[in-house]
Each structure stands twice: as structure tokens, then as C-alpha cells.
Structure 1
Amino acid sequence: MNKITRIVLLVIICLAVGYFSGAVTREAITDWYPTLIKPTFNPPNSIFFPVWTALYIMMGIAAGLVWNKIEVQKEAVKKALIFFAIQLGLNALWSYLFFGLHNPMLAGLEIVVLWLMIYETYIQFSKINKIAGYLLVPYIAWVSFAAILNASIWWLNKV
């Protein structure tokens, strides 16, 4: 498989995870989410789709750049891509916990683990390809913001 094909494949996988995570989100956005008390810094719903699309594309490119080093750094690449797969799974799980189960507290606990896995993925990617690491920085920043938002929503709506 050539380098471009690897990158395209991983971008498609990341976007597919985002799409299927969004399926849980789409229904809750119209019925449950509007009933929640949100902090003043809560962005409008229209922001989330373009931001997540950009983040999934950058994640896929980053993973593809790392995968392209498989011939020269086999063990490091395998380790890095395992962390990548774990964080991608946790990313999808967060949507299910928050929007599917309507459980901001559980989602808040999970997002801490997600953040740690993203950070470890960043560390592993940076060792293999600096650009791949840099491509994850906006993702870390956004999930940091999302964690604060998640905690705030939980706090404002706890019964």
C-alpha cells in the first residue's frame, strides 16, 4: 500500500467513526441537549460539525504519516497506532455516554481517560513523525475544552 493510500484510508476511518458517533448525537441534539442548562461559553451547535470534521481529518493524516514509517520503525509504529485506535474508540464512546445515555457524569469521567490516551498518542506520534504529533495538538486543545464544557454541563444539571 502506498503512502497516500494509507493516509486516505485512515482519514476515511476517522471520518466514519465521527459519522457513526454523530448518529447518536444527532437525535439528542434535537430533543435532550436543548433541555440542559449550559455555561455561557457553550459554543453554538453549528460549530461542532466543522470542528470535528477538521479534527478527524487531521487525526487521519497524522496516523497515516505514522503508518508510513512502518518499514523503518515497526515496533514504535505498532505501539503508536494501538494508542491511536484506543483513543479513537474512546472518542466514539464519549458520544454514546453523553448523548446516547444522557449521562454527563459518566462521559466526564471517560473524557479524562480519552484525554490521557490522546496525549499518549501525541507522545508516541511525535517520536516517529513531528508533523504527526503537531497535527494532534488542536485535537488535544479541543478535547481539553470539551472536558471543561462536559464538567460544567454536569455541574449545572446535577440533581
Structure 2
Amino acid sequence: MSRAWIFPILIAGIIAIGVAVMGATITDIGPWYHGLAQPRWAPADAVYGLAWTAVYGFAALAGVTAWLAMPRSKDREWLLGLFALNGFLNILWSLLFFRFHRPDWAEIEVMGLWLSVAALVITIWRRSMTGALLLLPYLLWVMYTGYFNMIIVRLNGPFS
């Protein structure tokens, strides 16, 4: 393995694991969540862990691929900033939905999360088509999550 890969792999791994751990700590798929009216097509509990693990893995690979394709340190800093914003929005959605029990607020916030993933795809696409394609499962999962969130609000609202 080239030495050029070591730093971005470490950074991407630390960021992905950090966001995953914080999100998992906040997420409580327990009595409150199971008490919500849900559509028939609601995912099984185990699907969440598998989906987020895959999403974080692909996002980390996309980050490494993009980092190596960025010619200037300023471009890499911008990339890290976008990933940091995305990680914050990802954790915020879990906090609003699962910890504060406010799917109505999470429904609004998930739009910002989706836009942050889209911004990453567009930014990375300019330097690495492979990196951008690795983020498409994340974009699709956030779209699905947003739609599921909207249905939860429609079936169970209002929340207070």
C-alpha cells in the first residue's frame, strides 16, 4: 500500500467510525419507536445497522478516493468541511428523531442531510467519478429515510 493512502484512510476511518458511534449512541430502537404506527414496508430493525454500516463504508471509500484526487490542500480542506457538515447533520437527524422523539423536526432536517450528500456527490464528481458513485447508496438511503420519516409523521403526528 502506498504511503499516500495511509493518512486519508486513517482520517476517513476515524470520521466514519466517530459518526457511526455517535449516531448509534443516540439511536434507540425501543418502545417509543416500536409504538409508532409504521407502514407495512418499514424496514426490520436489523436493516438499519446493515444499511448504515454499508453507507459509512462507501462514504469512507468515497472520501479517500476524493482526497487523493484533490490537487490542492484547499480543495481537501473543503472536502473535509463538507464531510464534517454531513456528519453533523447525520447525527442531528438521529438526535431529533430518536432521542427527542420529534420526527416532525427530523422531517425538516433530513432535507438538509440530503442536500449535504448531494453537495458531496457534486463536489467529488469533479475530481473522481468513482468517489461520487460510491456516495449514491448514501443519497438513496437518505431519500428512503426521508420518505419513511414523512410517513411516520403523517401516521403519528402531531408531536410535542
With normalisation by structure 1, the TM-score equals 0.91
| Structure 2: gaps spanning 5 or more residues | none
Backbone CA RMSD of aligned residues? 1.5
Tell me the equivalent position of 1:64.
Answer: 64
* One-letter amino acid matched to 2:152: I
Report Cα offsets for 1:129-151 as digits up to 9, x if no partner: 11110000000000000000000
Aligned length: 156
Tell me the equivalent position of 1:10.
Answer: 12
| Structure 1: gaps spanning 5 or more residues | none
Tell me the equivalent position of 1:137.
Answer: 136
Tell me the equivalent position of 1:52.
Answer: 52
Decide which of 22, 25, 38 is 1:23's aligned counterpart. 25
* One-letter amino acid matched to 1:45: D
Q: What SS does the corresponding residue of 2:109 show, helix, strand or coil?
A: helix
Structure 1 pair 106–93 and aligned structure 2 pair: CA distance change class (3 A): same
8 Å contact kept, 1:3–1:68: yes
With normalisation by structure 2, the TM-score equals 0.91
* One-letter amino acid matched to 1:32: W
Aligned ranges for residues 81-96 of structure 1 at < 5 Å?
Answer: 81-96=80-95
Deviation at 1:61, TM superposition (A): 1.1
8 Å contact kept, 1:125–1:133: yes
